[in-house]
Amino acid sequence: MELSPADVLKIANLAKLHIEEDDIPDYVTNLSKILEFVEQLNGAPIENIKPMAHPLDVMQRTRADNAVAVTTTKATQANAPEVENGLYLVPQVIE
């Protein structure tokens, strides 16, 4: 599958990645190659195979609905660049 420069820009935007204009041709080539490689899977004969949601053929374990008090708030907030009144501060989201 051949990607267009517009596809690359869209993917970059969705991934919130900044890319340089000059690098776009390289991305087009490399990403297209990756897709081409993965596309081989489309040739696999799967008519009689049931789809799997996960490569491990086991089922999800669950836990009982018991709450445990959170004791890590101080530590995690120490990691944040900025905290005020217990809130993590981030660049303004809306104008």
Partner 1 sequence: MEWETVIGLEVHVQLQTQSKIFSNAPIAYGAEANTQANIIDLAMPGVLPVLNAKVIDMAIMLALATNSQIDQQSIFARKNYFYPDLPKGYQISQYENPIVHNGYLDITLDDGQQKRINITRAHLEEDAGKSLHGNFQGKTGIDLNRAGTPLLEVVSEPELRSAAEAVAYLKTLHELVCYLDICDGNMQEGSFRCDANVSIRPRGQEALGTRTETKNVNSFRFVEKAINYEVARQISLLENGEQIIQETRLYDPDNNQTRSMRSKEEANDYRYFPDPDLLPVSISDEQIAEIQKQMPELPAARRQRLQSELGLSDYDANVITASRKLADYFEKVVELSHAETKLVANWVMGDFSAALNKENFNITQCPVSAELFAGLLRRIHDNTISNSIGKKVFSAMWQTHKSADMIIEEQGLKQVTDSAAIEKIIDEILEDNPEQLAQFRAGKDKLFGFFVGKVMQASKGKANPQQVNNLLKQKLFTDSH
- Interacting residues with partner 1 (CB under 8 A): 10, 13-14, 16, 53-54, 56, 58-70, 72-73, 76-77, 82, 84-94
Pick 40 or 60: Cβ nearer partner 1: 60
Pick 28 or 83: Cβ nearer partner 1: 83
Residue 76 has, within 13 A of its CA and on its CB side, a CA count of 7
13-38: buried (b, 16+ CB within 10 Å) or exposed (e) per residue? eeeeeeeeeeebeebbeebbeeeeee
Pick 44 or 90: Cβ nearer partner 1: 90
